[in-house]
Chain A
Amino acid sequence: MDRSRDLTMSGNLQSTVTLTITERNGATRTRVVNMVSKTYGDTEKRMMKFLEPADVRGTAMLIIDNKESQDDMWIYLPALRRTRRIVSTEKGKSFMSSEFTNADMASGANSDFSITHMPGSGENGLWMIESVPVDDDIADEYGFSRKVTWLEKQGLKIKKIDFYNFDGGLFKTIEILGTKPKPGGGDGYIMTEMYATNHLNGRSSRVTFDKLNTSASIPDNTFIADNLSR
Chain B
Amino acid sequence: MAGFIVKYKWWIISVSAALAVALGLLIPTVETDPEIRNFVPRSMSSRVSTDSIEKDFGVQDMILVLLTDSSVLTPENLGSIREIDRSFSRMEGLSTVNSLFTARKIEGRDGMMIVDPLIRRIPDNATKTDRLREDILSNQFALGISVSEDMTAAAVTGTVNPDVPEHLTLNRVDSIIAEQGDEKKILTGGLPYIRRHIVEDVNHDALFLIPVALVIMLLVLKLSLGDWKSVFMPFSVVVLTVVITMGLIPLIGWKFSILSLLVPIILISVSNNYGIYLVSRHKELKGSEVPPGRRELVRQLTGSLRMPILFSGLTTIAGLLGLLAHSIIPARQVGILAASGVAVALALSLLLIPSLIYLRERPGTRSRPPKDHSKDLLSRAIGALSELVIRRPGRVLLASAAITLAVSTGIAFLRIDTNQENYFPHKHPVRKASELINSKFGGSQTISVMISGDIKDPAVMKGIDDLTRHLKQQEGVGNVFSIADVVREMSKALYEPGEEGYDKIPDSSQAIAQMFELYNMSGNPDDWKQLMNFENTKAHLLVKLSKPENEIIRDLRDEIRNYTADFPAEITLGGYAIIMADFAQKIIEGQVSSLLFALLAVFILLSVIFRSARGGVIGSIPLAVSILIQFGVMGLANVAIDAATALLSSIMIGVGVDFTIQFLWRYNSELRKGMNHAAAIAMTYRTTGRSIVINGLSVMAGFSATFFSGFLSIRYFGYLVLLSIGSCLLCAIIIIPAFMLWFKPAFIEADLNRTIIKKDKNGKDVLSAVSTADSVTAGTHGTAARCQAADGQKP
Contact = CB atoms under 8 A, between A and B. Distances in A.
Interface of A: 21, 23, 27, 29, 50, 53, 55-56, 59, 61, 73, 75, 77-80, 82-89, 93-94, 96-97, 136, 140, 145, 165-167, 169, 200
Main secondary structure of the interface of B (DSSP, over half): mixed
A61 B523 CA distance: 15
25 contacts: A55-B510, A56-B510, A56-B513, A75-B113, A75-B521, A75-B522, A77-B511, A78-B510, A79-B513, A82-B494, A83-B111, A84-B108, A84-B113, A85-B112, A85-B113, A85-B114, A86-B112, A86-B522, A93-B523, A94-B524, A94-B525, A96-B521, A140-B89, A166-B90, A169-B92
A167 B91 CA distance: 6
B158 interface: no
Contact of A84 (B494, B506, B513, B526): B494
A224 B534 CA distance: 32
B115 interface: yes
B493 A84 contact: yes
B508 interface: yes
Contacts of A93: 523-524
A163 to B, nearest CB: 13
Interface of B: 86, 89-92, 108, 111-116, 163, 456, 493-495, 501, 506, 508-511, 513-515, 517-518, 520-526, 534-535
A77 B111 contact: no
A73 B525 CA distance: 17
9 nearest A-B pairs in the assembled complex, by CB-CB distance: A166-B90, A79-B511, A85-B112, A55-B513, A79-B510, A84-B113, A77-B514, A97-B520, A97-B525
A29 B521 contact: no
A135 to B, nearest CB: 13
Contacts of A88: 115-116, 522
A73 B241 CA distance: 74
A166 B92 CA distance: 9
A59 to B, nearest CB: 5
Contacts of B92: 165, 167, 169, 200
Q: Which of A61, A145, A167: most chain B CB closer than 10 A? A: A167
A86 B90 contact: no
B114 A87 contact: yes
Given A167-B92, A200-B92, A86 B517 contact: no
Given A77-B515, A79-B514, A167 B113 contact: no
Nearest to B535: A27
A167 B90 contact: yes
A23 B537 CA distance: 14
Contacts of A166: 89-91
A21 B517 CA distance: 14
A61 B112 CA distance: 13
A88 B518 CA distance: 13
A140 B86 contact: yes
B122 to A, nearest CB: 13
B93 to A, nearest CB: 9
Nearest to B522: A86
A52 B98 CA distance: 33
A56 B517 contact: yes
Contacts of B517: 50, 56, 59, 77
Given A55-B456, A86-B521, A78 B114 contact: no
